[in-house]
Chain A
Amino acid sequence: MSDPRPEGTSADGARLSPLHDRHVAAGAQFTDFAGWQMPVRYASDLEEHHAVRERAGLFDLSHMAEILVVGPEAAEALDYALAGRLSAIAVGQAKYSLLLRREGGIVDDVVVYRTGEDRFLVVANAANRDAAVTELRERSAPFDCEVQDESDDIALIALQGPRAAEILENLDRLDIDGGPDAEAGTAALRALRYYRALRGDWDGHRLLIARTGYTGEDGFELYVSPDAAPALWSELLDTGAGAGLVPAGLAARDTLRLEAGMPLYGHELTAETTPAQAGLGRVVALDQKQDFVGRAAVEQAPEGGRVLVGLAAEGRRAGRAGYPVLGDEGVVGVVTSGALSPTLGHPIALAYVDHGVSAPGTELALDIRGSRVPAAVVELPFYRRPTD
């Protein structure tokens, strides 16, 4: 058969996560991801996917870039550097935002945590670390603040799934800041809302505990020092074993985020796509008075052009990145991500299609290696978690 290894797999000079030894011991398969050797799966990516939807999964995201912006004018600097109004978020709050090019395209999508009045943590994609650091430094130069690349000093573990909260509450030696006792800490953790974060300490190591994620499930992202990460990883797996927690790799992470309709940089988001095309117009603070890099280009961007949609098909063959999307009279778009949805049992895809064929219900087709497979435009997300 054709070479089954993912493109670009190579151990030469690759960066290793602080959890690498844990992954090797667990029998993980690795893939090159933005120069890092990261676990793609431990045993079965489908099992890992289902575990996150039904129970919980633990992800190593230590390759992500963490950039600290600190100083009296850090908020103003980020208002100018990013497309959102970060000065409006409260301490302990997080916001999804975009780092735009002057021409309106996307340098990266980021999650920003306000960890103090004059302190923000910007989490960027591993592949865009250098670009994000460079752009943030340049753009914040006129402001009284500093930009520090902390990526090498921060590991990231994501605990995701309907049983994530229960597992974290049961973690021994976890102290939540502000609580006078363990009970108050557990209450604070329970009360932590989506896109909020609090500080804590595990076994003497500082933690930032955020109720964020990239799976479409409830869950937490834990920012911790690389020294403490391996012990925390093992302790979480032990604590969650009874609840069905398993380590999950990047393959499951990709199908989970795809079902949740979340864009991935390099696929749905590129230097050439505008926020409006990607369906991220709401992220751009055009209703605010402030100027930000890329604002003029976004305001003047012509209407029309291709827009991001969800496509659902029948059968089992999935459209993959780069496959053409067909209308009655030829190519009307291109797939950016696609898979057989493990949760839904049918193929799903994210695709850029011409504006005129982007309405939900529009019948299109995928060109799957020469065969025409019917596919319909559907509302995003493909999957929404049941709420209680």
Chain B
Amino acid sequence: MSDPASLHYTAEHEWIAVDGDIATVGITPYAADQLGDVVYVDLPAAGAAVASGAVVGEIESTKSVGELFAPIDGEVVESNQAVVEDPSLVNRDPFGEGWMIRVRFSALPELLTAEQYAAITA
């Protein structure tokens, strides 16, 4: 599991862990809690080009449908098939096994710190 304090965040309730030129993207526990039990996840295939702010996936709970936005421009190098198979990972381990996609990027946009993100959801 990633250390939440060291992650980047978006106002759209995504977290981003950066390792070299690869960004791992997931949704925050706050978002997972608000959705309720996640029962369906649809993610882009590896190789897909994504643009910051574009809808790239769907996260459905029993009660509602959430969209996953790409937080960054780049190319999807991996999507988490474990979370597609078992969507409850999003609720159980949002910072860990519940990650969504890995994106190869060239430039990191301006993102929120953990503190800034915490202020949004307070």
Known: A45-B37, A316-B39. 17 other contacts (CB 8 A): A1-B13, A1-B69, A2-B12, A4-B13, A4-B66, A5-B34, A6-B64, A29-B36, A40-B36, A41-B36, A44-B91, A45-B36, A45-B62, A46-B62, A251-B36, A251-B63, A317-B60
Within 8 A of B (CB), among A2-21: 2-6
Whether A1 pairs with B14 at a CB distance below 8 angstroms is: yes
The residue from B14, B34, B39, B63 contacting A254, defined by CB atoms under 8 A apart: B63
Within 8 A of A (CB), among B6-57: 12-14, 27, 31, 33-37, 39-40, 42
A contacts with B, residue count (CB < 8 A): 25
**Which residues in B have their C-beta under 8 angstroms from that of A46?**
37, 39, 62
Whether A316 pairs with B69 at a CB distance below 8 angstroms is: no
Cα A41 to Cα B36 in complex, Å, equals 8
Q: Is B68 an interface residue (CB 8 A)?
A: yes
The residue from A1, A40, A45 contacting B68, defined by CB atoms under 8 A apart: A1
Whether A320 pairs with B65 at a CB distance below 8 angstroms is: yes
The residue from A1, A44, A340 contacting B59, defined by CB atoms under 8 A apart: A1
Greatest chain A CB density within 10 A among B31, B37, B42, B58 is at B37
Whether A339 pairs with B62 at a CB distance below 8 angstroms is: yes
Whether A4 pairs with B62 at a CB distance below 8 angstroms is: no
Q: Report the minimal beta-carbon distance from A246 to chain B, rounded to whole angstroms.
A: 14
The residue from A1, A47, A318, A369 contacting B12, defined by CB atoms under 8 A apart: A1
For this complex, 19 residue pairs linking A to B, each with C-beta atoms less than 8 Å apart, are A1-B13, A1-B14, A1-B31, A1-B66, A1-B69, A2-B67, A5-B34, A44-B36, A44-B37, A46-B39, A251-B62, A251-B63, A255-B62, A316-B40, A316-B60, A317-B42, A317-B60, A318-B60, A339-B63
**Which residues in A have their C-beta under 8 angstroms from that of B60?**
316-318, 340
The residue from A4, A318, A320, A369 contacting B35, defined by CB atoms under 8 A apart: A4
Q: Report the minimal beta-carbon distance from A167 to chain B, rounded to whole angstroms.
A: 25
Whether A2 pairs with B69 at a CB distance below 8 angstroms is: yes
Q: Report the minimal beta-carbon distance from B80 to chain A, rounded to whole angstroms.
A: 15
Q: Report the minimal beta-carbon distance from B5 to chain A, rounded to whole angstroms.
A: 21
Question: Which residue on A lies nearest to B14, using beta carbons?
Answer: A1
Q: Is A226 an interface residue (CB 8 A)?
A: no
Q: Is A35 an interface residue (CB 8 A)?
A: no
Q: Report the minimal beta-carbon distance from B85 to chain A, rounded to whole angstroms.
A: 11
Cα A234 to Cα B56 in complex, Å, equals 45
**Which residues in A have their C-beta under 8 angstroms from that of B34?**
4-6, 29
Q: Is A342 an interface residue (CB 8 A)?
A: yes
**Which residues in A have their C-beta under 8 angstroms from that of B69?**
1-2
Cα A19 to Cα B48 in complex, Å, equals 50
**Which residues in A have their C-beta under 8 angstroms from that of B67?**
1-2
